[in-house]
Structure 1
């Protein structure tokens, strides 16, 4: 019933700007699970009583036959008590044996029918439970997977920003003079090369050329890299500092002032005019 449009629900070929198509396909999949659950529920409500009733009718028929066999056994037992039945005693014993075998077969058939009724009910309950779990958990799982894919797509499309803080963005600054620019580039490259040598023991390959117009920060007057922290002094001329240059490993709580702006403590600003 649902096979004709089920594959189309998963035909998600969305590109950038096609989130509406993804939402429509997601709604179609959720509607499919809901429809499957409703269909199985209606089938259980409408057909399960008939299936059980059919097996119960067969069980009653077997019980009637079983009662008839028991009545025959009672008659045969009465014949064995007669004294004038010496000649036909062997025949009566064979009839009793046949009746006992028949009663055993009818009892096995009744047990088999009872097992069929139990299996039928358990299968219906198991099917409804599975449909309910699909209806309850699958949309959340697919939404989580879609969110991870969307985050991965956004990470690929979004360039790495400069470090920021909640107060303001770092200001771009040009290097102070041509000679200092060359010295900063060389120091920056040497610092990176030494870091690679210390970590891996193998010199790093040649670094790509640095843009001379790229802004510099910190006391070391190098470009942005790694973790950085912003000075809370609004009039700080540097603003941004590398963690390693100001002896930090984690972001401190509350306000933080750089070595040039701080007082006796890092969370206290130096009084103006001092």
Structure 2
């Protein structure tokens, strides 16, 4: 419809220059890498020269030679700092567009809901949501902002989750993941109240207030057979 087209057109306009900006930043980062490698080569050469001639050098010459090595190290650090700044800028650049997309989606959904409320029409999706009593959170599962969610993500299907930002994090420790910068808009899960990462499991209690849990937090290493209930729901069921 027209509203969708307008939102889409505006968003596409806003990201039109993003590929060029990303390419520019990545090129600059590669250049900084090359400069750093060259400088490291210089440091190795200077160190070898110093070791070979240190005994024959006067005290002032030694200081001068060591100063050259120190300056080369400082330059290396400067290049590395510049690269880190570029990487942070690049992340922020992409994240800014993601936040805008989230805001646009929220506005669009609200406008759509208002129109449906005014017309008195209730969509099949809305009826399904009311019937299930769980809403979009159940359908999407613990994905950052629900961008890649599907019905397959529901706890009933017992999907093991991997984070939105790549499978490589499956091999790292949870503490490493939690040290990374976190988008304040990203939802949290589990007993630990942290974002989605690694393998996750959904509680089979439809009224579970948390729904999704990291394997390590509930002492799991593999996907259990049959139905699985989180520690809180297991305790509640025992009381009943």
TM-score range, shorter chain: 0.3 to 0.5
When Rg is computed on C-alpha atoms for both structures, the one with the higher figure is 1
Higher share in helix: 2
Normalized against structure 1, the TM-score is what? 0.38
